[in-house]
Amino acid sequence: MNGFAQGLLSALLRDTHLIAPQLFLMVVATLMLWPGDLFFNRNEKHKWAPITLVILAITAFLVSRTADGEGFSRMFRNDGLTRGFQMLCVAASAGTVLLSTRLLDSLKQQTVEYYALILFSLAGMLFLCGASDLISVYFSIELMAICIYILVAYLRDRATSVEAGMKYFLLGAFSSGILVYGISLLYGAAGGTTTNLADLNQALALTPANSNLLVYAGVLMVLVGMAFKVAAVPFHMWSPDAYEGAPTPITAFMATAPKAAALAAFLRVFGAGFHGVSSDWVLPLTYIAGASMILGNVAAVRQESMKRLLAYSSIAHVGYMLLGVLSGDPMAGAQAVWLYMLIYIVMNTGAFAVVIYLQGKGEGERIEDFKGLGRKHPVLAFAMMIFLLSLAGIPPLVGFFGKFYLFKLAIEQGYVTLTVIALLTSAVSAYYYLGVVNQMYFKAPEGEAAPHGRRPGLHRHPCLHPGAGRHGLRALAAGLGGENLLGLVLSGGSVLRTHPQTPAQKPGRPGFALLRAGSPP
C-alpha cells in the first residue's frame, strides 16, 4: 500500500507542471473566498479588480512557460493548441474584469465572489483547452459552466438576471446529460477500454459493422452537447435570453472566453478523437454551421436590443468558426480559428465596452439609444464603428482577414456551398451592423435637432474614451497591415510555436501540434 501511495504521489508531482496555471487559479480563487479578511478587506471593492488583473497576468506567464506533454493518465495534453487558446481565454477574462468595475462599484453587495467565480470559470476553460480525454472534457465543461450560471444570475435583485440564469442552468444541465450519455455509448462501442481521444479514434475505426449505429448515436450526442456550449443552431435557444438578462460584462464574457475554450475542444475532439469516423459527424456539423450563419444573422436584423443583436451575431460567428473544425487539415483549421477568435474577442469586447459606457448614462440597452452618438461622443462613435465593421468583415479592417483565411480554407477543402452561404450571410451582417452606424451618424437624438454650423466639442471620459479611440485606431491599423498580423501568427509566435519546422510542413506555417489519427500520443 505504501508503495502504491508513493507511486501515486510521484505521478501527481511529475504531472502537476502541466496544469500549473489551473492549480494557481483555483488556489487563489479559494483564498479569495476564505472567511474573514485573509489578505485584504473584502469590503474594499476598488482593490479587487487590480488584484484579479495581476492574478491573470501571472496565469498568462504560467501558460507561456508550461512545457509540452501529457499527464494524469493522458487526460490532459499541453501543446501549441492548448497554449494558444488558453491565452485567448485569459485575455478575454482580463477584458471582462476591466468592463466590470463600474457595475460592481454600483452594487451594495460584496464583489470578491464575482471575481472568484471568473477565476474558477477560467480554470475550467484552461482545463478544457488541454483536455485529451472525453471524461476530462466533460468535467472541464462543468467547472466552466456552473460558475457562469451563477454569474448570469449575479444581479439577484433583478428578475431578468435570475430568470436568465435559471433558464441557462436548466438547459445546460439537459445538454450535459446528453453529452455524458454520448460518452457512455462511445465507451461501450470501443469495447469498454478507453475514453482517451487518440485511443478512441483507433478503437472506433475498428468497430464491427453491427456497432456502427452505436458509434453514430454516441458521436451525434457528443456533437449536440458541445454545440450547446458554443450556442450553435439549433442549440442556441438559451443564448439571447441569457445574454440580455446577464450583467453586461458577463454577457461579454460569455460571448468570448467560453467559446474560445469550447472551440479548442471541438478541434481536438473532432479533429483528432473522431477523425476515423468523420463520416458520422461531418454532414451534421455542416448543417449546424450553415444554420448558425443563416439564423444568427437573419434574427439579428430584427433585434431592437443591442445585447440581443450581439447575441445573435455571436451565433453567426460560431458558424463561421466551425468551418475551421470541418477542415480536413487540423493544423490549418486550428490556425484559422485561432486568428478569427483573437479578432472576435478584441472587437466584441470593444463593442460591449461602448454599450457599458452608455448604460452608465442610462442608455445603451436599445439600438435607438445610439442615435446621434457621432455628434455627442465622436471618439466613442468612431471606435464603435470600427468594432462593428470589423465584426462584419469589411476591408481593410482586421476582421476581413480573419474571415478571408477561414473562407479560403473552406474552399480548399471543398466546402464551396457552405462558403457561399458564409459570404451571403456576411453581407446580411453588414446590413445590421451598418444600421447601428446609421443611428450613430445620421440620426438625431430623441428630442434634439441636428446641429447647424457649430461643431460640437469632443466629450472625454477619463477611462473609456481615449482607450476606445486608440482601440479603434489599432483595429484599423491592424487591418491595413493584416498580412503582417497573419504572418506573425502563422510564423509561430511564442504562444503558438510548439516544435521546430519539419519538412512536411509548409514554410512559415508550423501550426499547432495536434494529435493526428493513428499517431502515437
Handedness of CA 50, 51, 55, 56 (dihedral sign): negative
Bridge-partner residues for 71, per DSSP?
76
Question: What pLDDT does 349 receive?
Answer: 93
Mean pLDDT for the stretch of residues 413-425: 92
CA angle centred on 204, ends 203 and 206, rounded to 5°? 70
Which helix H or strand E contains 71, and what residues bound it? strand 69-71
Mean pLDDT for the stretch of residues 496-520: 37
For the ranges 13-27, 37-51, 299-313, 488-502, the maximum mean pLDDT occurs at 299-313
Question: What pLDDT does 44 receive?
Answer: 65
* Residue among 342, 362, 365 at smallest CA distance from 352: 365
Question: What pLDDT does 7 receive?
Answer: 58
Question: What pLDDT does 273 receive?
Answer: 78
| DSSP secondary structure code for residue 360 in this structure | T
Question: What pLDDT does 475 receive?
Answer: 46
Question: What pLDDT does 33 receive?
Answer: 82
Domain segments of the chain: what residues? Answer: 285-448+456-490
Rounded-to-10 torsion of CA 386, 350, 79, 205: -80
**Residue 492 reports pLDDT greater than 70:** no
Question: What pLDDT does 108 receive?
Answer: 67
Q: Report the alpha-carbon distance of residue 334 to residue 44 in Å, rounded.
A: 42
Question: What pLDDT does 319 receive?
Answer: 94
CB 94 within 8 A of CB 119: no
Task: Map residue 359 onto helix, strand or coil.
Answer: helix
**Residue 39 reports pLDDT greater than 90:** no
**Residue 339 reports pLDDT greater than 90:** yes
- Reported pTM: 0.83
pLDDT in tens, 232-265: 988 888 888 889 889 999 999 999 999 999 999 9
Mean pLDDT for the stretch of residues 388-402: 91
Q: C-alpha grid cell for residue 458?
A: 469632443
Task: Map residue 274 onto helix, strand or coil.
Answer: coil
**Residue 139 reports pLDDT greater than 80:** yes
Q: Report the alpha-carbon distance of residue 285 to residue 266 in Å, rounded.
A: 11
Question: What pLDDT does 481 receive?
Answer: 43
Detail the DSSP E strand segments found in 236-321. none
* Residue among 370, 378, 361 at smallest CA distance from 458: 378
Over the chain, what is the mean pLDDT? 81
* Residue among 262, 280, 264 at smallest CA distance from 217: 280
Detail the DSSP E strand segments found in 96-229. none
Q: Give the model's confidence band at 506: pLDDT under 50 very low, under 70 low, under 90 confident, else very high.
A: very low
Indicate the range of 163-172, 432-441, 442-451, 469-478 predicted with least confidence: 469-478
Q: What is the 3-state secondary structure (H, E, C) of 491-504?
A: CCCCCCCCCCCCCC
pLDDT in tens, 271-318: 877 877 877 889 999 999 999 999 999 999 988 889 999 999 999 999
**Residue 363 reports pLDDT greater than 80:** no
pLDDT in tens, 93-116: 999 999 988 887 777 666 788 899
Q: Report the alpha-carbon distance of residue 252 to residue 463 in Å, rounded.
A: 18
Q: Report the alpha-carbon distance of residue 15 to residue 23 in Å, rounded.
A: 12
**Residue 483 reports pLDDT greater than 70:** no
**Residue 490 reports pLDDT greater than 50:** no
